[in-house]
Structure 1
């Protein structure tokens, strides 16, 4: 059904297609744009969400043969098209200027009445409408969205779960949290919002997600990161160490002899498991220097210092700084 704001909206421009675009090309273009701007692909991006709504509205109209024909007729008014006015007369040429000149006859109240008269022309059928169609009637509008917020612990955000939240009316509702949801992402529950006042579909519930920090793990896309302390001797001589996993048993990881601080060791498949794939566990080695040495340890290190190669590890750094 037509909408009063079709005068101002160029759906062809919104989708980037020509006015003679075929159904197949229209669908292909829409799918490409929908994937690009879908809220699930742009968590927390209000601009992308608004763009997604615009292209969805444009495709809904242009993909329906009847609506597209009516839309084209309405838009033609802006390019000097003729239409038949009440009482059998015609208005021509000036497009928007001719139509909206009706507003210039009085104050604000008179202008509103004239505006209503314009759109009532298209609601009586016969020759007073566009091309003899049943008429121009505002279509049903989608109901308002309802917003909600929730804070998840790190493990729930990674693994996914079904949680219960409180609605604005005091009634609880369930939300399925997908595995891998990120801090700042929005979860949209289609058709669960407020009812439409014009017979359209219900609005949505939009849940904004916050995720608490974990004391050990951090997110890196689908990967999980953890910093693993190792002793100087483990790094120098090599060792097999235990590394924690999220919600599971520790895994054993081999540290090669001569491993420097900052090297990242990878455990395949122990990251975030989601519909988009499975990440890895990235363990970053951090060499820990003892804060206190007893006499025997100190003596051993002094002997090591005498035996180690007399190379200055900062020589290259100093040379590049010159």
Structure 2
């Protein structure tokens, strides 16, 4: 396993880490603590030392599983969780310092920990990034020892650029993959300049970039890849990175010719070619997925010809409908 520094936190973290949106089972399935324990311990056994979770994953059950892992292992495992998505309705006005403080306390209780390595605002509405009082409350929480670092999880590059203007923001979690390349422009430049840790989520575009889906693939009714394709439940960009499914399949077929030795692993390795990236957090609903993802760290970097071919596919098929929205 290779390690990179997570920006101003100073944490040395595994460049292939783990996201836990689906770690208790596949999307839409009931949360399974047995499955979660199996995957989380397999991750630690493989050298992964950074786990990303959220209070809404499995309605708090994911946090409980992650906390159980941290308390049961001798290795230093860094934990990032998120807060804010439990607000109903999820609107700017609902974001209040008292509510955020309660979410931090709830996460500490769920995980059985005394302090959070990293707490992230969980994709708040754009207006919230323009309210300093929401960021100030985390300075108080740090003084109290409840958190060590503040980060943000964003939907848009605009939000990322605004967030890192706040001195106490140490990390940004953002969607970046073969289908979502805009962060590599201004945001990555500014993140490096300000020593911001960059956590890449949705690296395989909700599985589309595994190359295993086709026109006949059926997802369960409880899977966001069924019900959120048009953004009916949450931001459309979280599902297939905002790419139209048929358009994505056509692009994947071309990408398979560029990366004939396994698209998923090479798609992860492509992300790691950008030195602004601190880590990538693919999910896993079974240990086999985890082991496959880890192989990306040892994959040779894409050749200049492959990089050029990726850009051509993106420019011709993906850029116009996606690039300017997020």
TM-score range, shorter chain: under 0.3
Question: Normalized against structure 1, the TM-score is what?
Answer: 0.19
Structure with the larger RCO, 1 or 2 (CA within 8 Å, 6+ apart)? 2
More helix by share: 2
Question: Normalized against structure 2, the TM-score is what?
Answer: 0.19
More strand by share: 1
The structure with more radius of gyration: 1
